[in-house]
């Protein structure tokens, strides 16, 4: 192998590989892709079998020239970009640029950057994988066809600078759909009843009511809850059933890319992008003092759960040497890949058990150490014995009512001695069951009632997506691939289609608008099932079971028809003008709602003679002027003067008209200083007191003036009957959590009428 050239992707790998090879090897880096489709044009010859036109990137011309020079001086050329589709494309493009007569170019794959792996790959080089390259080209062409033809349409209809993507737009739709679920969700009241009981043996224990007359307990209001309390207070509690069983909890498998991103988000609060960039550094190599640069983990873009025999033997020896014998199962534990998973690489694991996290901590950055320790612990845990629990369930009968207590005691920690999975939040409003220690009781034993409690609860809407749960959703729906999740999450935020706030994704007004337009005009492309089927087709191309041209034709012909129709029929948001009752203070012409580069705004209808503009007073512009109207009856609590509506960098607020002498302000929606309650003649259906109008995070509503003794609430009617046939409900003004106003029937969910447009009584 004298005078050999190895070309890798990342400059960081160069030093790691050079350490293991002699002076006969010249190691160079391409620094990512060297060729791409041109930015200034489509770059796809649709009429000629979708032939792509690749160009050497301007920033890589010097790199390519240096690689050509190095190739001319080499006897053997090995292309070693990352072992995935993108890496294969890089290898093909480099081969096209440096190829010469009498030069044999071979492909080598490094699953990890350790000396045995590198030497084995060089001793068993491969041919370039045409099918894998075809799969990458197909994906690139599909993304270009969609992005370069949908984006100009959005520029024309909404505003310049917008983008649409085959996968990113579907991800935004998932976030918008969840927001719609939350918006339409109507909380339902329910009550939990818990009894604290004491048997012959300590300790006392809590049991929750689960059944009434043999059916699941459903307590919808406080009146019924109080009736039950009065009944059970004078009824004996008797142990009806006691069940004890041993429960085993098996360890989780080693990390795939998506599971690594999810767990790093839950445990370490890392974004998907940060997880992948940190993992990339651990894979490429970290300086470990005298040992030099060492690759610490295997390739981090994988959806396989496979573990090599060598790694399996090493981790089992580690467990045997560092834990009691009871922690090591008699046989190695193997995990089955999910359907459709690519098995080209192993799971994400440490390259060697010799590099223990705590022993090399001083060589790592804090982020590198935390992620490496997470990967290490998960890998070790996957080959340990299950955790064992003694689980006890006690059913207590009280007349027609059945209470249940559950508890568990850990008999053997097993894999939990080193690793436990992070938990996603519970969105159903129920508290997670706390593991409790229960006393020794026997069937038929009488118990003493110590206390009885009832708790009012409300069902909760599904939670917004965190980075971890959105990655899981994309994975479960088959949207994208492990290597793309981090880029998808970054792109939708960079394009301002969604924002991450307190760890949760909120769609922006722009994201909701663009999604509505695309779903209406391109339902096929925005369909999650269709997008998932495209990923399957790309996998089939990589496996040699399908052809690039067939896949592109099947996609493009219907797409062109949708595009033609959309150019004609799609709403032109740029040209829309919605009239308002607001009068321009400069020329007295009415103001209209328009859409601009920064979203909705009010402009004078006398444009261009008058160029006056102002912010709208509601996020969707439907109720411009609403806050100004509301302020007529609102007086400053400090000086008694009228409050006026203003808008600052943090949104709408009320300020005293006596400014600067009085600097009092109020929040418009909720908060410690929210709008005062307005009394009404409507009587509370529970306590017969007057209801008052309040403003909450979801808009106006009626609340009992007897709060907190009475917590009854009612929708605030606009005095307009629901237009749905046979419906007796009223239209109520509501608001999403992002502040967007909409109008819906008071009888939801029996009637699901809703609209963004303010109804008119006619």
Q: Is the dihedral of CA 526, 532, 536, 541 positive or negative?
A: positive
Tokens of 148: 């370069």
- DSSP track, 183-213: HH----EEEEEEEEEE-SSSPPEEEEEEEET
**537: which residues sit within 8 A by CB, 6+ positions away?**
138, 546, 551
Determine the Cα–Cα distance for residues 206 and 438; give it in Å rounded to an integer.
9
Q: Compute the C-alpha angle 491/495/501, nearest 5°.
A: 80
Name the phi and psi angles at 109, rounded to 5: -120, 125
- DSSP track, 460-529: -PPPPP-HHHHHHHHHHHT-S-GGGHHHHHHHHHHTTSEEEETTEEEE-HHHHHHHHHHHHH-TTTT-HH
Find residue 60's DSSP bridge partners.
Answer: none
Burial class (CB in 10 A: 0-12, 13-18, 19+), 102: exposed
Give the helix/strand (H/E) hosting 254: none
Tokens of 669: 């929606």
- How many other CB atoms sit within 10 Å of the CB of residue 80? 26
Tokens of 261: 């991103």
**314: which residues sit within 8 A by CB, 6+ positions away?**
352, 353
Determine the Cα–Cα distance for residues 670 and 675; give it in Å rounded to an integer.
7
Question: Tokens 């970054």 belong to which residue?
Answer: 490
Name the phi and psi angles at 449, rounded to 5: -80, 120
In b/e form, how buried is each residue of 280-306, taking b as 16+ CB within 10 angstroms? bbbbbbbebeeeebbbbbbbbbbbbbb
Tokens of 25: 């090897």
Are residues 482 and 500 in contact, defined by beta-carbon separation less than 8 angstroms? Answer: no
Determine the Cα–Cα distance for residues 479 and 484; give it in Å rounded to an integer.
9
Q: Compute the C-alpha angle 542/548/553, nearest 5°.
A: 145
- Residue 471: strand, helix, or coil: helix
Are residues 507 and 497 in contact, defined by beta-carbon separation less than 8 angstroms? Answer: yes
Find residue 690's DSSP bridge partners.
Answer: 683
**561: which residues sit within 8 A by CB, 6+ positions away?**
none
Determine the Cα–Cα distance for residues 106 and 650; give it in Å rounded to an integer.
58
**12: which residues sit within 8 A by CB, 6+ positions away?**
281, 284, 285
Question: Tokens 């100004």 belong to which residue?
Answer: 628
- Residue 406: strand, helix, or coil: strand
Determine the Cα–Cα distance for residues 116 and 121; give it in Å rounded to an integer.
9
Residues annotated as catalytic (active site), given as ranges: 299
């Amino acid at each position: 192998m004298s005078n050999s050239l190895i070309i890798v992707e990342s400059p960081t790998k160069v030093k790691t590989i050079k350490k293991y090879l002699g002076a006969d090897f010249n190691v160079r880096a391409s620094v990512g892709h060297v060729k791409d489709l041109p930015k200034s044009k489509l770059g796809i010859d649709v009429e000629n079998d979708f032939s792509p036109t690749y160009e050497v990137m301007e920033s890589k011309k010097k790199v390519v020239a240096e690689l050509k020079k190095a190739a001319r001086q080499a006897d053997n050329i090995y292309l070693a970009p990352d072992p995935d589709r993108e890496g294969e494309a890089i290898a093909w493009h480099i081969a096209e640029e440096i190829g010469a007569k009498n030069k044999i170019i071979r492909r080598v794959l490094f699953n990890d950057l350790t000396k045995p792996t590198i030497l084995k790959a060089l001793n068993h080089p491969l041919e370039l994988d045409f099918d894998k390259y075809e799969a990458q080209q197909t994906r690139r062409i599909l993304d270009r066809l969609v992005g370069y033809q949908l984006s100009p349409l959005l520029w024309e209809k909404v505003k310049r600078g917008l983008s649409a993507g085959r996968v990113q737009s579907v991800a935004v739709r998932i976030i918008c759909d969840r927001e719609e679920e939350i918006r339409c969700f109507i909380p339902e009241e329910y009550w939990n009843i818990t009894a604290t009981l004491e048997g012959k043996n300590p300790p006392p224990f809590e049991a929750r009511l689960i059944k009434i007359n043999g059916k699941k307990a459903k307590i919808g209001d406080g009146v019924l809850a109080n009736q039950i309390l009065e009944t059970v207070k004078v009824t004996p509690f008797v142990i009806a059933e006691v069940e004890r069983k041993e429960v085993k909890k098996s360890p989780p498998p080693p990390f795939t890319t998506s599971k690594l991103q999810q767990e790093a988000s839950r445990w370490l609060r890392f974004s998907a992008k940060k997880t992948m960039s940190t993992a990339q550094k651990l894979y490429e190599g970290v300086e470990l003092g005298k040992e030099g640069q060492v690759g610490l983990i295997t390739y981090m873009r994988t959806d396989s759960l496979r573990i090599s025999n060598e790694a399996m033997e090493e981790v089992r020896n580690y467990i045997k040497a560092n834990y009691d014998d009871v922690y090591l199962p008699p046989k190695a534990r193997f995990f089955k890949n999910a359907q459709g998973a690519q098995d080209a690489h192993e799971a994400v694991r440490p390259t060697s058990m010799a590099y223990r996290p705590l022993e090399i901590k001083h060589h790592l950055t804090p982020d590198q150490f935390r992620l490496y320790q997470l990967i290490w612990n998960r890998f070790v845990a996957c080959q340990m014995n299950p955790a064992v629990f003694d689980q006890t369930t006690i059913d207590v009968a009280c007349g027609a009512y059945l209470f249940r207590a559950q508890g568990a005691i850990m008999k053997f920690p097993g894999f939990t001695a080193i690793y436990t999975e992070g938990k996603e939040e519970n969105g159903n409003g129920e508290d997670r069951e706390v593991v409790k220690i229960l006393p020794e009781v026997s069937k038929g034993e009488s118990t003493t009632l110590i206390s009885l409690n009832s708790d009012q609860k409300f069902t909760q809407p599904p939670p917004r997506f965190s980075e971890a749960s959105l990655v899981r959703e994309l994975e479960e729906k088959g949207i994208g691939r492990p290597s793309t999740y981090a880029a998808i999450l970054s792109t939708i935020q960079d394009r301002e289609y969604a924002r991450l706030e307190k760890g949760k994704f909120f769609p922006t007004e722009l994201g909701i608008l663009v999604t509505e337009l695309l779903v209406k005009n391109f339902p096929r492309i925005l369909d999650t099932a269709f997008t998932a089927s495209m990923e399957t087709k790309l996998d089939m191309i990589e496996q040699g079971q399908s052809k690039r041209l067939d896949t592109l034709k099947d996609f493009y012909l219907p797409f062109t028809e949708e595009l033609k129709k959309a150019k004609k029929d799609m709403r032109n948001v740029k040209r829309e003008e919605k009239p308002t009752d607001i009068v321009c203070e400069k020329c007295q012409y009415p103001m209209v709602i328009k859409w601009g580069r920064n979203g909705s705004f009010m402009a004078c209808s006398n444009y261009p003679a008058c160029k006056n503009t102002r912010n709208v007073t509601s996020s969707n512009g439907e109720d411009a002027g609403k806050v100004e109207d509301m302020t007529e009856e609102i007086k400053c609590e400090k000086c008694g003067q009228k409050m006026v509506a203003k808008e600052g960098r943090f949104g709408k607020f009320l300020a005293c008209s006596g400014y600067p002498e009085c600097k009092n302000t109020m929040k418009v929606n909720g908060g410690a200083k929210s709008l005062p309650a307005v009394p009404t003649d409507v009587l509370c259906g529970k306590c017969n007191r007057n209801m008052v109008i309040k403003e909450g995070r979801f808009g106006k509503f009626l609340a009992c003036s007897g709060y907190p003794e009475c917590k009854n609430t009612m929708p605030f009617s606009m005095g307009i009957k629901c237009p749905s046939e046979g419906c007796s409900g009223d239209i109520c003004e509501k608001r999403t959590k992002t502040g967007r106003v909409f109008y819906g029937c008071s009888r939801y969910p029996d009637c699901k009428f809703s609209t963004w447009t303010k109804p008119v009584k006619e």
